[in-house]
Structures are given as C-alpha cells and as structure tokens.
Structure 1
Amino acid sequence: MIALFRHCLLACAATALTIHVAYGEPEPTALVDQQHCMFCHTRDAPFLAPSFQQIAEHYRNAPNAQTMLEHKLRLGGKAHWGDTPMPPAVERGGPLSAEEAHTLVQWVLSQ
C-alpha cells in the first residue's frame, strides 16, 4: 500500500499544486495535504478513485451521505468505485477527528 501511495504522489504532484482554485467551499488545504487526498483523487477527473466532483454528484442529496462519508474518511472502507478501498485515516496521514472529517466532506460535497 505504501508503494501505491508513493506512485500516486509522483503522478499527482503537479495536479495537487494546482488544486487551490476555489469552487464552492474553500479547500481545507492543510487537511487535504495531511490526509494525502490527492494521492488517489482529483477535483474533476477519476484517477485511482473517483473525482471529488463525481463523489459530490453521487452523494450530494443522498440521505445520511454526510455521516457515511465522514465515517469512511475516519475508518476507511471497502471499494465502491473500483478496486481500491479507502484506507483508514491513520494509514493516510494520521488520526482524523470527527470535526476534521466533517470539514473535508462538506468541502467535497460542495464541488
């Protein structure tokens, strides 16, 4: 899994540097960086995982989506969009509080 993250980091480095364009909610850059979100996701195109825009479109109006996504961000979960499961926060960049998960999900759903 670590090798996959390293590979993704190299592939996404240029994209991650250009993601600071604000759409919807302001990007919580420190959390996005800490949790290495851009290793697998991009704002507008699928990579190793769905884009943030795809996630927003799919879950924006779904009942209980906010809670489900916050849980998945903190604890990880099985793959729903391909073969790569969401690793738990402690494997991505350290523990993630409920408030931090809420901030990230609010931002993603605003895309």
Structure 2
Amino acid sequence: MQPLQLSLHASIAGLLLCITMQALAAPEPAALIDQQHCMFCHTVDSPFLAPSFQQIAERYRNVPNAASMLEHKLRLGGPAHWGDMAMPAAAERGGPPLSREDAHTLVQWVLSH
C-alpha cells in the first residue's frame, strides 16, 4: 500500500472507533435527571455542591460492585464520599420514588462519562 492509502485507512479506522465509542455510551436519561433533581447538586464536568458526573465516573468506573452501591445510594441515600454532604434519598430530593431500573439507568449514564 502507498503511504497515502495507509494514512487514509488509519483515518477511517480512527473515525469508526470514535463513532463506535459514542454509540456505546449510555444515552442521556434527561427525564430521569429532571425528575430526580440531579442537577441541583451535580454538573456533568465540574464540582458544584456535589462531585461532577465525570468525577464519579473516574472514581467508580472500574471498581467492582460500584454500580450496585451507587444505585442503592441513589434510591435510599447514603453517607458522604466527597466532603460533608450526604446523598439524600429519592424522597428527600423532592422527586418521585426511584425504581431499581431507573437507578440503574442513571448510574450507567453517569459511569459512561
């Protein structure tokens, strides 16, 4: 192969990899985020009253059983792991009760950051 063809093939492969990675990322569950008032304390990329979703993902993405711990914490609340602010239970956040399935959806989305 000629150098130009190799470069073109490498560029196409890189583009396909980027598209594949984006397709694998969990879609944003906007309705759940709004219902659960997530953005009252969190942002996607910088700390606010609580850690950002990116910080949470960085800390827990590769930790065994972290997803189930985070899902439980989303539904029932839990102790502070960052600073002094504990995670309030779904009922205390002013939203509707959070099902196991919805907690799973939210956690998978956060861990995809």
| TM-score normalised by L of structure 2 | 0.76
Match of 2:42 in 1: 41
Q: In the aligned structure 2, how far is the partner of 1:91 from the partner of 1:52?
A: 20
Structure 1 consecutive aligned stretches of length 4 or more whose deviation exceeds 6 Å: none
Percent identity, aligned pairs only?
77
Amino acid corresponding to residue 108 of structure 1 in structure 2:
V
CA apart distance, 1:45: 0.2
CA apart distance, 1:26: 1.4
Q: In the aligned structure 1, how far is the partner of 2:47 from the partner of 2:59?
A: 13
Any unmatched runs of 5+ in structure 2? Answer: 1-21
CA apart distance, 1:39: 0.3
Structure with more helix by fraction: 2
Bigger Rg over Cα: 2
Q: Deviations over 1:68-111 (max 9, x none)?
A: 00000000001110111100011111210000000000000001
- Please tell me the root mean square deviation across aligned C-alpha atoms, in Å: 1.4
Match of 1:97 in 2: 99
Q: How many residues align?
A: 90
Match of 1:75 in 2: 76
| TM-score normalised by L of structure 1 | 0.78
Q: In the aligned structure 2, how far is the partner of 1:102 from the partner of 1:40?
A: 19
Any unmatched runs of 5+ in structure 1? Answer: 1-21
